[in-house]
């Protein structure tokens, strides 16, 4: 079972919207839209993806990491390390 099982539809909805935003940006570029207006939409799409990432991370901590922590041992440590690395990738992206 994945951590986001209960939020799957909400996450898919957000991702579809982000996909639509990226397609919209392509149309803007094809139509020679002013650079700054294109950039504003790129920032919005980036923010939308970040929101998806934060939702996935919250679910992951609340389910996968929490469950591993309850069981303890090496697996628990491994899950925390893995989550920390994902957070680092997110902060640096």
Q: Under the rule (CB under 8 A), what is the footprint of a second copy?
A: 1-5, 8, 11-12, 15-16, 18-19, 22-23, 25-26, 29-30, 32-36, 38-40, 42-47, 49-50, 52-54, 56-62, 64-67, 69-70, 72, 76-77, 80-84, 86-93
Give the DSSP H/E element, type plus range, for residue 91: helix 73-92
Length of the chain: 93
What are the tokens at 18?
Answer: 């982000």
Query: How is residue 61 annotated by DSSP?
Result: I
Q: How far is the CB of 74 from a second copy (least distance, A)?
A: 13
Q: How far is the CB of 21 from a second copy (least distance, A)?
A: 9
Separation CA 14–CA 69 (nearest Å): 29
């Amino acid at each position: 079972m994945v951590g986001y099982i209960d939020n799957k539809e909400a996450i898919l909805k957000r991702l579809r919207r982000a996909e639509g935003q990226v397609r919209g940006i392509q149309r803007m570029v094809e139509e020679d839209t002013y650079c700054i207006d294109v950039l504003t939409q790129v920032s919005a799409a980036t923010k939308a993806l970040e929101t998806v990432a934060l939702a996935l991370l919250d679910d992951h901590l609340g389910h996968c990491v929490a469950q591993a922590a309850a069981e303890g041992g090496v697996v628990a440590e491994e899950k925390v390390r893995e989550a920390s690395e994902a957070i680092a990738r997110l902060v640096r992206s």
